[in-house]
Structures are given as C-alpha cells and as structure tokens.
Amino acid sequence: MKALGNWPRRALLAASFTVLLAMPTFAEQAPVPTSPVSEFTLGNGMQVVVVPDHRSPIVTHMVWYKVGSADEPPGKSGIAHFFEHLMFKATGNHAAGELDKAVADIGGNDNAFTSYDYTAFHETVPPQALSQMMAFEAARMRNLVLSDEVVATERDVVLEERRMRIDNDPQAQLDEAVLATLFMNQPYRIPVIGWMQEMQQLNRVDAKAFYDRYYAPNNAVLIVAGDVEAEAVRKLAEESFGKIPRGPDLPPRIRPKEPQKTTRRTVTLSDARVSVPSFSMQWVVPSYNTAKPGEAEAIDLLGEILGGGTRSRLYQELIVKKGIAASVNAGFQGRALDDSVFAVYATPRGEAKLADVEAAVGAEIERIARDGISAEELDRAKARYVRSMIFARDRQDSMANIYGSTLTTGGTVTDINEWPDRVRKVTAEEVKAAAARYLVLDRVVTGYLLPKTQAEN
C-alpha cells in the first residue's frame, strides 16, 4: 500500500486528448520570454534550452525524453508511462525517494508526466538547488537500478492507476474507446496508460530494453526556465549530463499513418453512474508537425471561433440563442508529432435532446465550411491568442512546457518565436478551408455518454 501512495504524483498527461482540451493549452502556445532564449547542444547530443525569467528566485528544471506511448513496441502498451514511474526508484547513486525528499526539504516540487510523444521529469526549486537537481536527473538517466521486485511492485501501482483513472470513470472509458475508434492505424489509438492485458505482462526485460533504447542524452532535451543565465546552465549541464555517454542512434520517428476515412462512426457508453448525457464529435486533423504551413494555425483559430469562450459561435448559438446546451467547447491539440485531434464537446441543457444539440453543432460547422467567417470574428480570435500569450508569460512552468513539448514533437525554438506572426497571417479563407476540409460530418466519430436508462431506448 505504501507504493500506492505515490501514484497521484506521477501524472498521466493526456490519458486522452480530451484531457488536454480541458487544460489551458491555447493559453500556453506562445510565450514571450522576458529575455532571449538560449539554445545549445552538449557534446553527447543532449539539447539544452534556457529561458531566463528573473522575476523571482525560482527555476524550473525539466528533462524531456523524445519517447512516448506512440513509440512503444506492438503489444507493450503502457511501457512508456510505466517507465516514467520506474524513474523514481533507486539509482546507483541515490535511494528511491531521495529526490522527492530533497525537493520537499527545500520547499520545491517535482513531478513527471507521459504523453503520446514525450515523457518529462521536472523540478521547481531555488536556483542554488539546480546543480543538485541535475545530479539527480543525470543519475536516473543512465544509472537506474531495475530489479524484478521493483518492476513487479510498480506494475501493481500502474495497474491500480488504470483501474482508478480509466476503468472507474465512464467518461475516461468513453474517451479511450473514442480515440481507439477515431484512429484506425496511428498509434494514438492506444491509450497512454496502456491496455490492461498488456500492462499486466510488462516485465524487467521490457523495461530494460526501453530504458537502454530511449533514455540517453542524445534523445533528451533539457529545459531550464527561471532565474538563471545560459552560461551558468551550460556549465552545470556539462558537469552532470555532459558526462553521460551518447546512446544508440535512433531511427526517425516514422509511425503508421491514418488511411483515408469514408465512414461516419459513433461510440456509445451507457452507465448507471452517468446522470447528465453528453457527447463529443472528433476528427483527425493535421498537427503543427504534419500540417502545411499556416494550416495548423488556421485550425487553432477555427477552434477558437467555434468554441473558445462566450463569444464563440457554438456558445452564442447553443447556449445563448437556442438555450439547448449547458456547456459547449471546441479545440485542437496541435502539439503532436503525427496527425492529431479536433474535438467539440457539448452537454444538453435541461430537457433538450442530445440529437438536437448535435444537429446544431453540425449546422454551425457546415455554416463555417460553406459561408466562412467574418473579419471581426477572425480578429477577435487572434486577439484572444495575444492575450493568452500575456498570461503564458506569467507562468514559468507553462513557458517551459511549451519549449519541451515543441522540441519533442518535431518543432524548433524558431517555430515558437515565429508562431505569433504565423497566427496573425491566417486569413478568413484559410479558416473556412480548414473547416471544409477536415470537419466533415460524414467522417466524424461521435462519442455518447449516456445514463443507463437513456440507453434502453
């Protein structure tokens, strides 16, 4: 039971894409750092990005590995997230729990998360503790002790995590089934936490193979944001991470792609624990890494115009005018190595019929695809992004996250710098074209979460 105490700390980022939609991801897309960002590479291939932020004596130290659940071998789902857990165990240099204790002793915090495309470990501490944090991260990058016992114990922890977070939660179950349906071929169809029957089989041999392949300086990105200067970070990084030998050269991360879709699909979960019905409509769309220039920016603005805030089309039409929805939102998870997801979520209000809400969402989407958007709508959507940049600027950890998630999904620091300009250049025609091309109702996957009684119809 003691081991179980750990589990909520090892967060599972993006158990589904829908989780991300609920987070302020848009607000995190475009930081404006307070002084120039530095970027360099250590001799062993480890990328380093330093984002100075001198407003308070804090640093955010993150090690991002370019490996996530979508890189797992067939039949080994869950190993990436499982390995994230194992990284908190003993190393040749430190006992298990020593890092957590050291961070707690200085009043900082540390955690980790796993997604489809990356796994990240981070600490927020005073600048004086930076070299200590690097020593901890460097130790577990290559010096982890993987015994059968450690592996078996932690496997029970992640199995319990799956039971609690997915199997006990009808919405999470549905989200998992929707993604497994939406993606016919791409590995994003497999849940980050893994399929139960495969998680149960994970063992020390799998863990060791995964560690030796992916946990190496040339497959990692170090992000340090906060009250430090680049030269100091470089010196510390060379003394710690720099001493780790380069790992194997990995092939390009080329994964199976989606086939062209020709059908409309639904996924329905009926559960006695559901009191209010809801639904989502989801499509596969290009990500920032797979889109043509400007296309992902247009899809981001489309999400904003459709479902971003109270002045969005769906809010105005479904909640204000028709009064048939209690909530509605739309969004795009653009930071992904492969094609990603555009989703609309809605909940009927009172006695309103789910089918009517769904039809109203479809009508708004078709209206944009057919008639386009106004200049005023476009300007307002862009303006919201500008505001979001200002908010992001205020959060050191969100700034660090943007750099980490971009650099591990095919992007560059330049992409981040130029992103605001690229958003400003999007035309109304491009937003219309994105809606027409990608949000096709004949190829949507709709997920329904229904009370058990409603399902009996």
Residues at the contact surface with its own copies, assessed by CB under 8 A: 74-75, 77, 173-174, 177, 180-181, 184-185, 189-190, 195-198, 254-257, 259-270, 442, 455
Integer Cα distance of 193 and 78 in angstroms: 5
* Residue closer to its own copies, measured from CB, 262 or 310: 262
CB of 270 to its own copies, least distance (A): 7
CB of 66 to its own copies, least distance (A): 18
Please say whether the beta carbons of 364 and 314 come within 8 A: yes
CB of 78 to its own copies, least distance (A): 11
Please say whether the beta carbons of 136 and 122 come within 8 A: no
* Residue closer to its own copies, measured from CB, 47 or 280: 280
Biggest CA–CA distance in the chain, Å, is 67
Backbone angles phi, psi at 413, to 5 degrees: -60, -40
CB of 23 to its own copies, least distance (A): 25
User: Catalytic site residue 84?
Assistant: yes
For residue 348, which amino acid is it?
P
Q: Which two tokens stand for residue 101?
A: 């204790």
* Residue closer to its own copies, measured from CB, 249 or 442: 442
* Residue closer to its own copies, measured from CB, 263 or 414: 263
Integer Cα distance of 195 and 176 in angstroms: 10
H or E stretch at 124: strand 119-125
CB of 286 to its own copies, least distance (A): 14
* Residue closer to its own copies, measured from CB, 268 or 427: 268
| 387 contact partners, CB below 8 Å, separation of at least 6 | none
* Residue closer to its own copies, measured from CB, 27 or 174: 174
* Residue closer to its own copies, measured from CB, 12 or 224: 12
Q: Distances from the Cα of 398 to the Cαs of 25, 30, 46, 56, 413, in angstroms?
A: 9, 10, 22, 15, 15
As a whole number of Å, the end-to-end CA separation of the chain is 43
Integer Cα distance of 431 and 436 in angstroms: 9
Q: Which of 28, 39, 72, 84 is catalytic?
A: 84
CB of 151 to its own copies, least distance (A): 20
CB of 398 to its own copies, least distance (A): 34
H or E stretch at 301: helix 295-307
Integer Cα distance of 438 and 418 in angstroms: 25
Backbone angles phi, psi at 94, to 5 degrees: -135, 145
Q: Which two tokens stand for residue 294?
A: 């400007």
Integer Cα distance of 116 and 289 in angstroms: 14
Catalytic residues: 84
